[in-house]
Amino acid sequence: MGQTLFDKIWDAHVVSSSEGFPDILYIDTHFIHEVTSPQAFDGLRQRGLPVFRPKQTVATADHNVPTINQHLPIKEELSRYQVDMLTKNCKEFGVELYGLGHPYQGIVHVIGPELGITRPGGTYVCGDSHTSTHGAFGAIAFGIGTSQVEQVLATQCLLQSRPKRMKIEVNGKLQKGVGAKDIILYIISQISAAGGTGYAVEYAGDTIRSLSMEGRMTICNMSIEMGARCGLIAPDETTIEYVKGREFAPKGEDWDKAVAYWKTLYSDADASFDEVLSFKAEDIEPMITYGTNPGMGIGVTQHVPETASFEAKEQGSYKKALDYMGLHDDETLLGKPIDYVFIGSCTNSRIEDLRQVAEFVKGKHKADNVTVWVVPGSKQVQQQAIAEGLDKIFNEAGFPLREPGCSACLGMNEDKIPAGKYCVSTSNRNFEGRQGPNSRTFLASPLTAAASAITGVVTDIRTFLKEEELV
């Protein structure tokens, strides 16, 4: 019987496996950031332990950092304290820190791949649920809690039970204006915010294959939004091309050896999955969410579902979500006025996302009623955008390019959406209060977000594309 991609990688990292115990899984690289690590370092101190493999630990400051004037001290006291604490802990324990001001600083799930730290066949963890992003390279990558951060710091290993395996195939040709973000929002809307719980999900099919690495990262990023433990995509030429030449990618002979191994990383034809789902690319419209979890998504031309269409016991939660969003049964979102557009987060803040948005907004201008924030995923993305002159295009369009960080994805810094306001956001979560207390989030792709910023209302990107023949 053949093996799945997931099992090949898992088996190659099992240090020890005993009946009745979770496996001890070896972690190749542990990413840490300021929010979920301080208590873990404290735990090490209390136990009198060092960081076991500091060279396999990479730190950055992203969740709390301001996205303007990063050269100045952080104004907000608690944020500054937390970021300073990370600096202090990294120094004390000998961990490399790409902190504020460092050319490699950025959102942890953007910098790992762009520095060539994330590679096929590896195991990656971080005290952050969107660690699933790194699975786009054909790796096992998942989010962990702070007790587990401490575990990995102390031992470079993690106790984990092997999840079940699911394959999600997407085949066919995408419509114009529909991209990776729409694919994943569509899948989650079909299987619900809990539909992947307990599974490692492998994405396959020719539509997935045709995506760039950035697109694949967008897909794997949101695996957690259907509850999946992780998401992964078998490596191919696209993957290898992306990794090649990056700062920490293997070089010379090591590279050749690595590539030879990576080419063995795929699910065998006779591998068996616990669950297989298939979707048709043609069925996918530009997507938008209307509710307060990422499973509550619809095609942009569709109507908000009726409360009566849900089972009785679900209706209370559903009504609560619609009330929070200020929406009602059967409402259409198309044409709904919005207040903010946020282009950023580990889902959609890579250079490709910014290029796509810049190409679209060139020569256009945002609507007066909308405030737009473009927040690059990393310092490198920001520099690249400037080098390509994207910042100028953005400025002319009223889309100021800020400095890198998580920003309005979770509103831990000053970038909060005010109460009651609507934000079309390229991030990954529309939970109540996620972007600021009582903020209202419509999740969408970068193109849908950009088009909505231009018109000031929720917009079907395809209406523009018909006129422009873009993408």
Pseudo-torsion of CA 185, 448, 360, 434, nearest 10°?
-80
SS (H, E, C) 411-437: CCCCCCCCCCCEEEECCCCCCCCCCCC
Using only C-alpha atoms, the chain has a radius of gyration, in whole angstroms, of 21
Binding-site member from 5, 90, 385, 409 for ligand SF4 (CB under 6 A) = 409
The interface partner of residue 107, options being ligand SF4, another protein, none and the CB cut-off 5 to 8 Å by kind, is: ligand SF4
Q: Is 423 annotated as a binding residue?
A: no
Q: Which is nearer to another protein, 241 or 323 (CB)?
A: 323
> Pick from ligand SF4, another protein, none: which does 293 bind, CB < 5 to 8 A by kind?
another protein
Residue 426 touches which member of another protein, ligand SF4, none, C-beta under 5-8 Å by kind: none
Figure out which of the listed residues 3, 7, 24, 307 binds another protein, where binding follows CB under 8 A.
Answer: 24
Q: How far is the CB of 407 from ligand SF4 (least distance, A)?
A: 7
Q: Which does 313 bind (CB under 5 to 8 A by kind): ligand SF4, another protein, none?
A: another protein
- Residue 330: half-sphere exposure toward Cβ, Cα within 13 Å: 3
The answer to the question of residue 406 lying near ligand SF4 (CB under 6 A) is yes
Of ligand SF4, another protein, none, which one does residue 212 interact with (CB within 5 to 8 Å by kind)? none
Q: By CB under 6 A, tell whether 346 contacts ligand SF4.
A: yes
Assess contact for 378 and 110: CB atoms under 8 A.
Answer: yes
- The two tokens of residue 53 are 């493999």
Specify the 3-state DSSP secondary structure of 325: helix
State which of residues 30, 134, 434, 462 lies at the interface with another protein (CB under 8 A).
434
Say how far apart CA 7 and CA 273 lie, in whole Å.
11
* 346 known member of a binding site: yes
Whole-number Å distance between alpha carbons of 124 and 26: 9
- Is the CB of residue 161 less than 8 Å from the CB of residue 154? no
Closest CA to 175 of 70, 263, 256, 286: 286
Q: Residue 276 has which token pair? A: 């297989």
d(CA 443, CA 288): 6
Least distance from C-beta 228 to ligand SF4, angstroms?
A: 15
Out of 254, 282, 306, 314, the residue judged to bind another protein by CB under 8 A: 314
The yes or no reply on residue 54 touching another protein (CB under 8 A) is no
CB burial readout 69-78, b (16+ within 10 A) else e: ebeeebeeee
**Is residue 418 a contact residue for another protein (CB under 8 A)?**
no
Q: Do the strands 371-374 and 287-289 form a parallel or antiparallel pair, or are they unpaired?
A: unpaired
Q: How far is CA 310 from CA 214, 304, 315, 323, 329, in A?
A: 36, 12, 6, 16, 12
- Residue 156 interacts with another protein (CB under 8 A): yes or no: yes
C-alpha–C-alpha distance, residues 390 and 441, integer Å: 26
Nearer to ligand SF4, 63 or 350 (CB): 63
**Which CB sits closer to ligand SF4, 57 or 345?**
345
Q: Closest separation between CB of residue 80 and another protein, Å?
A: 10
Among the residue ranges 40-48, 93-101, 210-218, 458-466, the one whose residues contact another protein (CB under 8 A) = 40-48
Kindly tell me which of 174 and 443 has the beta carbon lying closer to another protein: 443
**Is 126 annotated to bind ligand?**
no
The least distance separating ligand SF4 from the CB of residue 412, rounded to whole angstroms, comes to 7
Locate 108 and state its tokens: 């942890």
Q: Which of 438, 448, 426, 400 is nearest to 284 (CA)?
A: 448
In whole angstroms, the minimum distance from the beta carbon of 63 to ligand SF4 comes to: 6
Residue with tokens 């390019």: 401
Q: For the window 359-398, what string marks contact with another protein as x by the rule CB under 8 A?
A: ----------------------------------------
Burial state string for 262-288 with b = 16 or more CB within 10 A and e = fewer than 16: beebbbeeebebeeebebebeebbbbb
Footprint of another protein (CB under 8 A): 15-16, 20-22, 24, 26, 35-36, 38-39, 42-43, 46-47, 63-64, 78-79, 81-82, 85, 127-129, 143-148, 150-151, 154-157, 159, 161, 163, 193-194, 197-198, 224, 227, 229, 292-293, 295, 313-314, 316-317, 320, 410-412, 419, 429, 431-434, 437-438
Footprint of ligand SF4 (CB under 6 A): 62-63, 107, 109, 128, 130, 345-346, 406, 409-410, 427-428
The annotation places the binding site for [4Fe-4S] cluster at 346, 406, 409
